[in-house]
Amino acid sequence: MKHTSAEKSLTGYVQVNIPYRMLKKGYLDKFLEYGLNPEIGFDAEALDHLTVSVAEAIAKQLHRAGRTITLHGPFMDLSPGSPDPNIQEISRKRFEQLASLVPVFKPRTVVCHTGYDHKRYWPIKEQWIESSLELWEPLAAAMQREGTCLMLENVYEKGPSEILPLIENLKSFGVGFCLDIGHQAVFGTASLRRWVQSMSPHLQQLHLHDNNGQRDDHWALGLGNINIEQLFSDLDSLKIRPLAVTLEPHREEDLSPSLEYLAPIWPW
């Protein structure tokens, strides 16, 4: 995981995704050694079995090293806006478990998926938004009190109109939008430029990974066909500087190429 000088200049400005179970099992030392800022992902297993003392010890080492921390919430099988109260209650429990870790890690942002899927929810979209707000409002308020911003991320949304009303209703709680360019390329129908322009008042975080538009492959930047240079140009022209930019390689060997790709085009 050796970095060139150009890559090293970026490590202090970006987050790198890492599941909590991997951070706990050896990757913490690598993050500390190479000056990386973690976006720590928590799934159901991690939330149910983590030891508070271990989490506090990890957070203490990262804070002592001056690392910026962001968190990523659980998402598998969760449906925050579900019309089924039992399903929504399970979703609420998971996000409340996540929120309980905010005072421990003191993250800059906490990223969560909305759970919206046009194929399932378009007939009840208004009901879905109302149900979602009942879950997100108290969580966002609690995070805001801790100095943390909740970010809602696009996944299966076809275009900005499917997520914008939710975020507009939550803006008083400091909720922002996390633009995942890989998800947009695979699942979206609106162009990346339209996403940036429509969401510009709320766009506060980026998730960066690449693909060819067919699958959510999480390739290194530059290996797919996402126009990341145009993305950065559009962000710069709109004077958007996100609170956090997260690289999401799913393989360790894809991190260095992503940093190398970003170094000459980084606008901030």
Interval 150-206: pLDDT, tens: 999 999 999 999 999 999 999 999 999 999 999 999 999 999 999 999 999 999 999
Q: Which residues of 86-100 are buried (b: 16+ CB within 10 A; e: fewer)?
A: ebbeebbebbebbbe
CATH architecture of 5-262: Alpha-Beta Barrel (3.20)
**Nearest CA to 13 among 246, 251, 209?**
246
The predicted structure's pLDDT at residue 4: 54
- pTM to 2 decimal places: 0.96
What is the rounded distance in angstroms from the CA atom of residue 236 to the CA atom of residue 36?
24
Q: In this predicted model, what pLDDT tens digit does every residue of 43-71 receive, in sequence order?
A: 999 999 999 999 999 999 999 999 999 99
Q: How far is Cα 20 from Cα 79, in angstroms, rounded to an integer?
A: 22
pLDDT value for 100:
97
d(CA 166, CA 168): 6
144 Cβ contact list (under 8 Å, min separation 6): 150, 173, 174
Task: Give percent above pLDDT 90 in the chain.
Answer: 94
Segment 239-268, tens digit of pLDDT: 999 999 999 999 999 999 999 999 999 998
Quote the CA–CA distance of 103 and 158 in Å, as a whole number: 34
Residues with Cβ within 8 Å of 174's Cβ and at least 6 positions away in sequence, in order, are 140, 143, 144, 149, 150
**Region class of 106: left (phi > 0), else alpha (psi between -120 and 50), else beta:** left
Backbone φ/ψ region at 183: left (φ over 0), alpha (ψ -120 to 50), beta: alpha
Give the pLDDT confidence of 106-156 residue by residue, as tens digits: 999 999 999 999 999 999 999 999 999 999 999 999 999 999 999 999 999
- Counting every residue written for the chain, the total comes to 268
**What's the CA dihedral at 158, 159, 165, 170 to 10 degrees?**
90
